[in-house]
Amino acid sequence: GLAQDRIRIGLILPMTGPFASTGKQIEAAAKLYMAQNGDTVAGKKVELIVKDDTGTPDVTKRIAQELVVNEKVAVLAGFGLTPLALATAPIATQSKTPLVVMAAATSSITEASPYIIRTSFTLPQAAVGIADWAPKNGIKKVVTLVSDYGPGIDAEKFFKDRLIFNGGTVVESLRVPLRNPDFAPFLQKVRDAKPDALFTFVPSGAGAALMKQFSERGLDKAGVKLIGTGDVTDDDILNSMGDVAVGVVTSHHYSTAHNSPTNKKFVDAFLKANNNLRPNFMAVGGYDGMHVIYEALKKTKGGTGGGDALLAAMKGQIFESPRGPMFIDAQTRDVVHNIYIRKVEKKDGQLYNVEFETLKDVKDPGKK
């Protein structure tokens, strides 16, 4: 159709490389949203342009520039890792293009451009929940182990500060490289420190390797509990982790097992459309991101107002997500949602993050 009859969304994701599972989940979720809600909004045909940035910040930025200049996209979306979102933020600002962060979760990302809206989560939101739960459940002495970049550093800091506030101690803080981490030497240090628990953040997709080495080093047998943000018990790979994962307690905003009609509908449709691939928290960030874009287009009657009107229509949205109630704070442009404390349980031969406690309407504690 004519250019004025269509709206283009540039979805930039790691579709290859070590973070391809994030790209696969978000692309599948965005396509599911469009299949369920149609590809026409307010009389405009919605075109989703999916591009692979391989998880490399320079590539993300270059693709974003091309999509804005050549394809005239109304929205930039995706952003599978923090450095990819941060590299692209200046493009959003310069071109006044709303940028919807569907995956990356370092607190400060939304402060990198006034055109950024986030539908994923923040690590401070996720980390404080487990730091409140742990000391009430016999866990006082903790070692932290995180991926050495934005979200890991957020997780480490907000977990530690809250645990200390609650009377616990962090005896050692370990950081592993983001790419190709060898957990073994770090886990040996954890064993030597004999903590009550190891708190961890690793990005989506990396949890199985950590879990395997945790058990191979005999940490579980030595009585060290594993706790973390829910990234480590990622639903995408949880079933491949085996019994070492059973009983692991984490805090996060989404579980495939979240008990609501909205989620059951989402999970059933996602499984069906994707050859039984389980949707994880990345999928939900993508699905909800598409919802925010669609609802904004309805409000603007399909217009963008040079970017500003579309951005304004994204702020303040309240809706029922598969994760539970969700709100885009108009002031911070960041997501406000429930954080759940969950325990891995086996049901009918499958592993699930079963939610057993809810912290309601949690704002990002990283924002002043």
Site residues, ligand DHB (CB under 6 A): 22, 81-82, 103-106, 150-151, 203-204, 231
Strands 249-252, 318-321: pairing kind: unpaired
SS (H, E, C) 44-110: EEEEEEEEECCCCHHHHHHHHHHHHHCCCCCEEEECCCHHHHHHHHHHHHHHCCCEEECCCCCHHHH
* Choice between 103 and 241, CB closer to ligand DHB: 103
One-letter amino acid at 132 equals: D
What's the closest the beta carbon of residue 87 comes to ligand DHB, in angstroms?
Answer: 12
What's the closest the beta carbon of residue 353 comes to ligand DHB, in angstroms?
Answer: 14
* Residue 236 and residue 204 in contact, taking contact as beta carbons nearer than 8 Å: yes
What's the closest the beta carbon of residue 111 comes to ligand DHB, in angstroms?
Answer: 14
* Choice between 75 and 81, CB closer to ligand DHB: 81
* C-alpha pair distances (Å), 24 with each of 19, 69, 80: 9, 26, 10
* Residue 74 and residue 4 in contact, taking contact as beta carbons nearer than 8 Å: no
What's the closest the beta carbon of residue 102 comes to ligand DHB, in angstroms?
Answer: 11
* Choice between 231 and 334, CB closer to ligand DHB: 231
* CA pair distance 266, 110, nearest whole angstrom: 27
Write out the two tokens for 3.
Answer: 């250019």
What's the closest the beta carbon of residue 116 comes to ligand DHB, in angstroms?
Answer: 13
Q: What is the number of the residue whose Cβ is closest to ligand DHB?
A: 203
One-letter amino acid at 319 equals: F
Residue ranges with strand state E in the chain: 6-13, 40-41, 44-52, 75-78, 99-101, 116-118, 141-147, 169-176, 197-201, 225-229, 249-252, 318-321, 324-328, 335-347, 350-362
What's the closest the beta carbon of residue 28 comes to ligand DHB, in angstroms?
Answer: 16
* Choice between 82 and 97, CB closer to ligand DHB: 82
* CA pair distance 142, 21, nearest whole angstrom: 30
Question: What does the DSSP 8-state code read for residue 165?
Answer: H
What's the closest the beta carbon of residue 301 comes to ligand DHB, in angstroms?
Answer: 34
What's the closest the beta carbon of residue 340 comes to ligand DHB, in angstroms?
Answer: 16
* Choice between 124 and 302, CB closer to ligand DHB: 124
* Choice between 46 and 282, CB closer to ligand DHB: 282
* Choice between 106 and 338, CB closer to ligand DHB: 106
* Residue 243 and residue 249 in contact, taking contact as beta carbons nearer than 8 Å: no
* Choice between 7 and 103, CB closer to ligand DHB: 103
